[in-house]
């Protein structure tokens, strides 16, 4: 048991004692002043306010202590995510400086350092985006984004990042040949889907099998569903996983991360006027995340390739 958990228990126990004392005093006041209306009413109201104040103060105190604990865990996770690739890059650079290596080894070293650099960049970008996610009530750079093309691009990036064969992440189109447009920021939408794919891969052990489905369940809705066969999510955690810094406690399975990925997914989806839903049958039975966005009707003058190109894709 940590020091902060011990302090939480002590504060809760103290609050219970104070509430019990206030209730006892209230009962005694009622007995003593049972026949005097005004002192009786004033006393009951006073003790009721005291009890309510103690309860509210204790709730806020416990919440603040839990929030601080989450912040500490976040700082430790980010520190680890930054130190590990930096140490790896330094090790390979020291090796290259200290001795001669073959051209094949040199290229292998370069590949590892590039992968570590990408990991560093991804961590920094996630932290920066999480910092502004709650401060940006609306999108300033809106453009039509074709979601099928964006999903295909994000899947290819995820395969390269995790060194996966093509069959591990597949794309299913329920409306082939039809543009599924969403008005929004292509970079943010790409980040949301990329975070879901990264989680699906990381929580799938060694047997990665992820299905991404792009559909239009209604005339005015675009839906992206990411389904995996990983370790699943306990049902008690389904509503908590989108909180900032929240990490799911898993027995015998540890995944590196900052606790910001799903928080960013929800923030980005909300900013685009949509919603995100998590589903899972329980531990060991996989998980499904569904993104729903308002659909933008295609303009007759636009060609199918224009929307994503105009949205800032490079």
pLDDT at 7 over 90: no
Task: Evaluate if pTM is beyond 0.75.
Answer: no
Q: Are residues 198 and 150 in the same domain?
A: yes
Residue 138 lies in a domain: no
Interacting residues of 145 by C-beta distance below 8 A, sequence separation 6+: 181, 182, 183, 184, 185, 186, 189, 307, 308, 311
Which residues have CB under 8 Å from 201's CB, separation 6+?
158, 162, 164, 168, 169, 208, 210, 228
pLDDT in tens, 171-182: 998 887 788 999
Q: Do 290 and 162 share a structural domain?
A: yes
Summarize the confidence of residues 196-202 as an average pLDDT: 90
Domain boundaries, position 85: 1-133
Q: Does some domain include residue 60?
A: yes
192 and 240 assigned to the same domain: yes
Are residues 280 and 153 both part of a single domain?
Answer: yes
Residue 156 lies inside a defined structural domain of this protein: yes
Most confidently predicted of 99-103, 107-111, 286-290 = 286-290
pLDDT class of 249 with cuts at 50, 70, 90: low
pLDDT over 70 at 271, yes or no: yes
pLDDT, greater one: 255 or 160: 160
17, part of any domain: yes
Say if residue 90's pLDDT is above 70.
yes
Of 48-57, 123-132, 208-217, the one with minimum mean pLDDT is 123-132
Model confidence at 300, in pLDDT bands (50, 70, 90)? low
Inter-residue contact 186 to 150 (CB < 8 Å): yes
Q: Do residues 86 and 175 both lie within one domain?
A: no
Poorest-pLDDT segment among 150-154, 251-255, 299-303: 299-303
- Residue 2 binned pLDDT confidence (cut-offs 50, 70, 90): low
Q: What are phi and psi of 241, to 5 degrees?
A: -65, -15
The percent of residues above 90 in pLDDT, for the chain, comes to 19
**Res. 310 pLDDT band, cuts 50 70 90:** very low
Please check whether residues 147 and 115 belong to one and the same domain: no
Whether residues 277 and 154 fall in one domain? yes
The residue out of 112, 133, 154 marking a domain boundary is: 133
Say how many CA atoms lie within 13 Å of 225 toward its Cβ.
Answer: 15
CATH code (residue 206): 3.30.565.10
CB 203 within 8 A of CB 286: no
pLDDT tens for 134-177 read 555 555 578 999 999 999 999 998 888 888 888 899 999 888 77
Q: Which residue has the higher pLDDT, 47 or 249?
A: 47
Last residue of a domain, one of 82, 100, 133: 133
Task: Give the chain's length.
Answer: 314
Q: How many separate domains does the chain show? A: 2
Q: Do 212 and 253 touch, CB atoms closer than 8 A?
A: no
HSE-up (13 A, CA, CB side) for residue 54: 18
Residues 6+ away with beta carbon under 8 Å from 181: 144, 145, 146, 147, 222, 295, 296, 297, 298, 307
């Amino acid at each position: 048991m940590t020091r902060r958990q011990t302090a939480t228990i002590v504060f809760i126990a103290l609050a219970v004692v104070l509430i019990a004392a206030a209730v006892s005093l209230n009962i005694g006041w009622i007995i003593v002043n049972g026949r005097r209306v005004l002192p009786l009413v004033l006393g009951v109201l006073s003790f009721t306010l005291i009890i309510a104040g103690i309860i509210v103060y204790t709730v806020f105190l416990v919440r603040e202590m839990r929030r601080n604990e989450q912040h500490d865990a976040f700082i430790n996770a980010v520190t680890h995510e930054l130190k590990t690739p930096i140490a790896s890059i330094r090790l390979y650079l020291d090796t290259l400086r200290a001795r001669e290596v073959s051209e094949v080894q040199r290229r292998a070293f370069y590949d590892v350092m590039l992968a570590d650099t990408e990991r560093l960049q991804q961590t920094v970008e996630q932290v920066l985006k999480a910092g502004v996610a709650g401060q940006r009530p609306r999108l300033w750079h809106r453009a039509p984004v074709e979601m099928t093309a964006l999903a295909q691009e994000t899947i290819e990036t995820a395969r390269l990042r995790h060194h996966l064969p093509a069959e591990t992440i597949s794309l299913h189109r329920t409306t082939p040949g039809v543009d599924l447009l969403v008005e929004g920021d292509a970079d943010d939408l790409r980040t949301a889907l990329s975070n879901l794919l990264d989680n699906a891969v990381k929580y799938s052990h060694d047997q990665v099998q992820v299905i991404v489905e792009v559909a239009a369940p209604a005339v005015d809705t675009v839906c992206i569903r990411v389904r995996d066969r990983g370790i699943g999510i306990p049902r008690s955690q389904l509503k908590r996983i989108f909180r900032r810094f929240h990490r799911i406690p898993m027995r015998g399975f540890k995944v590196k991360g900052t606790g910001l990925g799903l928080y960013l997914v929800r923030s980005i989806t909300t900013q685009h006027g949509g919603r995100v839903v998590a589903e899972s049958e329980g531990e060991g039975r996989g998980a499904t995340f569904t993104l729903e966005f308002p659909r933008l009707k295609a303009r007759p003058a636009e060609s199918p390739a224009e929307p994503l190109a105009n949205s800032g894709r490079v």
